[in-house]
Structure 1
Amino acid sequence: MKTRIALLFFCAGLHVSFAQTSYLLLPDRVFDGETMHTRWAVLVQGNKIMAAGPRESIKVPKEAVTLTFTNATLTPGLIEGHSHLFLYPYNITDWDTQVLKESDAYRTARATVHAKNTLMAGFTTVRDLGTEGAGYADVALKRAINEGIIPGPRMWVAGRAIVSTGSYGPKGYDNDQTIMLGAEPADGNSLIKVVRDQIGNGADFVKVYADYRWGIYGEDRPSFTLDELKLVNEVTRSSGRVLVCHAKSKEAMIRAITAGAETIEHGDYLDEEVAQLMKEKGVTFMP
C-alpha cells in the first residue's frame, strides 16, 4: 500500500479559529526534516507545536484529544517560495485574458480556492509574488486567512509589484487605450513614492521586475538601471523589508545583486560568475 503523507498543515499552518484544544498526534512515522522516526508523537495546541519526540517523553495534558494516523508519515508543512495565487495555468486561460478580462472579484474568488488547495497539498506557508493586475487583493486574502474566514496557508505578499515604464504588460493593443499592465510602473525618483505606497498598502516585501522580454528580439533585457535598483532597495530596507527581483538575464541579476536584493527570482541565465557574486553578497536564488 502506498504510504500516505500527513502534513502538519492543520496544526502548524492552518489559519482557522481553533479553540486552544490540545491534540496528541500518533502517526506511524514522524519525519522532522532530516530524520525519519518511529514511535514518535507530536503535541499541538491551537496552531502551535508544543512538543515532538518519543511518545513516552511527552507530557500530555488530560484534556488532549488523541488522533491516530495509521500507515501515515507526519512531516512539517512545506513552504512555497514563489507563488501566484491570483493566476492559474495559461494552457487553460492565457495571461492577457486573466488580467484584462477577469474582474478582481472573480480572480479573488479563484484565489481563495487556490489558497485552500495549496494548504491541503501540504504547503503551510506561501510567498506570493504579486497579484498580476488585481491590486492589493493578496493583502485582503492574507487577512481573510489570518482571521479564520477562509482556510489557507500563511502568506507573505508583494501586492502590485513594480515594473519600468514600457517594459511589462500586454503588447499589441491600441496605444490610445489604457491597458491593465499587471504591475505598477515607475522610474527614477518616482520609485520612492511607489515603493512607500506599496508598503503602506500592506506589501510584506517589494518585488521589482529587474528585466523583462523587451529586447529588440524579444529577449530578456534589464529594465532598471543600477542606480534605480539601489534607490528601491534603500527605501525598502529602511522600512525593515527586503527587495526581491525578478531577473533572468545575467546583467539584470548582477545589477539586482549589486543593488542589495535579497533574492533573485527565476535566474534563467545564472552562471558561475553570478552564483559566486550571490554567495559573496548572501543573496538567495529562487528558481
Structure 2
Amino acid sequence: MKWIAVAAASLLMTGPAAAETILLKPAQVFDGVEAKPHPGWQVLVESDKIAAVGPSLPVPAGARVIELPGETLLPGLIEGHSHLFLHPYNERSWDDQVLHEPLALRTARAVVHARDTLMAGFTSERDLGTEGAGFADVGLKQAIDQGIVPGPRLLVATKAIVAEGAYGPKGFEPGLHVPQGAQEVSGVDDIVRAVRDQIAAGADIVKLYADYHYQGGEGSKPTLSEAEMTAATATAHDAGRIVAVHAATAEGMRRAVAAGVDTIEHGYGGTPAIFKAMHDKGIALCTTLAASDATSHYRGWNGQEPAPEAVQQNRRSFRMAMAAGVPICVGGDVGVFAHGTNVREMELMQADGMPAAQVLMAATSGNARIFHIDGKVGSVKPGLLADLVAVDGDPTRDVAVLRAVKFVMKGGVVVKGL
C-alpha cells in the first residue's frame, strides 16, 4: 500500500510538483497510436512532460529509474462519459440523489469518486453534468488542478441543458416547482442564454438533451428543436467549447447531426443513414454500453443470453456505428455504476466486436482527439504531459487486465505504484 503514502503526499501540494527526472523501464510500451506495443521501449519523464521515448534510453545524471518488469506502459486512460456527482442507482435512485442528498454530501462523494477514477488509471475525464448539483463540478476541477484533492484532469459540463418540462425529477403536483437535474430552456434565445451562462460559470463542454420523456412510462421523444440545437452549438463553438448531445431516438440524433454537434451520447436509435451522416461530419458516438448493462442487472438480469432488449439495442447501434466508420468515444456513463470500475465499458466494447487494441486506442488517443486535448494527453510521445499507467500483461490482447492497474503517473508525479 505504498501508493497511499505517495497519494497522501500529493494531496499536500498546492502547486505544480517539483521538477524530477524519471526513467520508466517497462517490458513494453503501447503508445496509443499504433495497435502493436513496442517491446523494450522506455520513457523518460522530465518535470511534468514526456521527454523521450524509445529503446535503451541513456540515464540522465540524477534521474530516478523505475523498473516495471513484465508490465505494459500506456497513456493514461480517458473516461469519456461520467457523472462524478452520482453514485450507482442500485444504492439510491436518481430522483432521491437529486432531491434528497445535500450538496455537501454529493460533493464529498464526488471527491472520493475522482480519486477512485484516478487510481483506476483514468487520468483524464469528461464529466457530462452534475445532475442537480449546479456548478459544483467547476469547484471540484479547481480543487484537483490546485492539488487539494487527487483526481483526473476534468472537462466539465456543469448543469446540462434540457427542454422545459422534459427532464426530472417528476411526479409532483402539477405547477409545483421542483429542483431539476439540469437547466431548462424554451426557445432559441433562451438556450443561447443558457449556453453563455454555463460557459461563464466554467463549463468546458456544453451538454444538450436532444430527446427525453415528458412523462414517466412513455418513451423518449425529441425535445429540443433543430433550430435550438443549431443556435446552442454555434454559440458553444464560438466560445471554443465542444458540444455533447444525449440522443436516444433517430429523430433526436438526426437533429443533432444537422446542428453540427461534436459527440452524440448513447445513440440507441441510430440507423445506418444516421451513422453515415455522423461519419461524413466527423461526429463521434459515445455508446455507453455499460449503462444499459448495469441498469439491466439492477432490474434483475442475471447476465445470461438472450440479453434484455435495451442491451441488445445498444449492441446493435454500436456495431452499426463501427461498420459506418463513426469515431467511437469510450465512455460508460459512470455514476450509473461504480466509479473506479470504468474499464467495464472497454470490456463490453471488446466483447461486442471491437478488437482490444482498437478499444485501447479509442480510450487514449481517440478520446483525446475527439475532446480536442490531443496536444496535451492521449499518446506516449515527447512533449505531451506525462500521464502514464502500467499494468501486468498485454491489454492489446485483453482489456480486462486493466481492472488491476499497478502504476499511475499524472503530470510526472507517481500517484500509485511505489
Q: Which TM-score applies when normalising by structure 2?
A: 0.63
**How big is each residue's C-alpha offset from its partner over 1:37-80, in whole Å with a ceiling of 9 and x where there is no partner?**
3322111123211112102xx24321211111233221111111
- For 1:155, the equivalent position in structure 2 comes to 154
**What is the correspondence of 1:129-148 to structure 2 with a 5 Å cutoff?**
129-148=128-147
- For 1:36, the equivalent position in structure 2 comes to 37
| More helix per residue | 2
Q: Which has the larger displacement, 68-77 or 197-206? A: 68-77
- For 2:213, the equivalent position in structure 1 comes to 213
- For 2:81, the equivalent position in structure 1 comes to 82
- For 1:125, the equivalent position in structure 2 comes to 124
- Relative to structure 1, the CA distance from residue 69 to residue 185 in structure 2 (aligned partners, 3 Å threshold; closer, same or farther) is same
Measure how far apart 1:254 and its partner are. 0.2
Equivalent-residue separation in structure 1 for 2:59 and 2:176 (angstroms): 65
**How big is each residue's C-alpha offset from its partner over 1:67-115, in whole Å with a ceiling of 9 and x where there is no partner?**
1123322111111111111111100111011111111111111111111
Q: Which has the larger displacement, 185-194 or 158-167? A: 185-194
Aligned partner letter, 1:149: I
Aligned partner letter, 1:226: E
- For 2:178, the equivalent position in structure 1 comes to 179
Quick check: 1:263–1:284 contact (8 Å CA) kept in 2? yes
Quick check: 1:136–1:160 contact (8 Å CA) kept in 2? yes
Q: Which has the larger displacement, 15-24 or 69-78? A: 15-24
- Relative to structure 1, the CA distance from residue 38 to residue 242 in structure 2 (aligned partners, 3 Å threshold; closer, same or farther) is closer
Aligned partner letter, 2:38: H
Root-mean-square deviation (CA, aligned residues, Å) is 1.9
Measure how far apart 1:175 and its partner are. 3.4
Measure how far apart 1:216 and its partner are. 8.6
Measure how far apart 1:201 and its partner are. 0.3
- For 2:92, the equivalent position in structure 1 comes to 93
- For 2:334, the equivalent position in structure 1 comes to none
- Match of 2:66, SS state, is strand
Quick check: 1:83–1:126 contact (8 Å CA) kept in 2? yes
Answering whether residue 282 of structure 2 is matched by residue 282 of structure 1, we say: yes
Aligned partner letter, 1:21: E
- For 1:23, the equivalent position in structure 2 comes to 22
- For 1:196, the equivalent position in structure 2 comes to 196
Equivalent-residue separation in structure 2 for 1:54 and 1:216 (angstroms): 59
Aligned partner letter, 1:168: Y
Aligned partner letter, 2:44: L
Equivalent-residue separation in structure 2 for 1:283 and 1:109 (angstroms): 35
Aligned partner letter, 1:45: E
Measure how far apart 1:125 and its partner are. 0.9
- Relative to structure 1, the CA distance from residue 216 to residue 29 in structure 2 (aligned partners, 3 Å threshold; closer, same or farther) is closer
Measure how far apart 1:217 and its partner are. 5.4
Measure how far apart 1:176 and its partner are. 4.9
- For 1:53, the equivalent position in structure 2 comes to 54
- For 1:103, the equivalent position in structure 2 comes to 102
Gaps of 5+ in 2: 1-6, 288-418
Equivalent-residue separation in structure 2 for 1:72 and 1:281 (angstroms): 39
- For 2:393, the equivalent position in structure 1 comes to none
- Match of 2:257, SS state, is helix
- For 2:317, the equivalent position in structure 1 comes to none
- Match of 1:69, SS state, is strand
Aligned partner letter, 1:214: Y
- Match of 1:140, SS state, is helix
- For 1:243, the equivalent position in structure 2 comes to 243
Aligned partner letter, 2:50: I
- Match of 1:179, SS state, is coil
- Relative to structure 1, the CA distance from residue 261 to residue 215 in structure 2 (aligned partners, 3 Å threshold; closer, same or farther) is farther
Equivalent-residue separation in structure 1 for 2:26 and 2:117 (angstroms): 22
- Match of 1:125, SS state, is strand
Overall identity of the aligned pairs, in %: 48
Aligned partner letter, 1:144: A
**How big is each residue's C-alpha offset from its partner over 1:203-247, in whole Å with a ceiling of 9 and x where there is no partner?**
011111110023795111011111111111121121121221100
Quick check: 1:215–1:221 contact (8 Å CA) kept in 2? no
